[in-house]
Amino acid sequence: MSAAIEVEGLRRTYGSLVAVDGVSFSIPAGTCTALLGPNGAGKTTTVEILEGYRHRDGGQVRVLGVDPARGDRAWRQRIGIVPQDCADLLELTVMECVRHFASLYPAPRTTDSVVELVGLEEKSDSRVSTLSGGQRRRLDVALGIVGDPELVFLDEPTTGFDPEARRAFWQLVKVLKGDGKTILLTTHYMEEADALADRVIVVNHGTIVADAPPGELGSRSEDHAIVRWIERGQVVERNTPTPSALIAELYARAGGELIDLEVRRPTLEDVYLRLVGEPEA
Identify whether the C-beta of residue 237 lies closer than 8 Å to the C-beta of residue 260: no
- What is the pTM for the complete model shown? 0.83
pLDDT above 70 (res 278): no
CA 244 to each of CA 225, 249, 250, 251: distance values in angstroms, whole numbers, following the listed order: 10, 9, 10, 10
Instruction: Give the model confidence (pLDDT) of 150-194 as tens digits.
Output: 999 998 888 777 788 788 888 888 988 998 999 999 998 999 999
**CATH superfamily of domain region 3-217:** P-loop containing nucleotide triphosphate hydrolases (3.40.50.300)
At 281 the pLDDT is 45
Which of 90-94, 202-206, 224-228 is most confident? 202-206
Rounded Cα distance between 216 and 26, Å, is 18
Q: Where are the beta strands (DSSP E) in the chain?
A: 3-14, 17-28, 32-36, 58-63, 79-82, 151-155, 182-186, 199-204, 207-212, 225-231, 234-240, 259-264
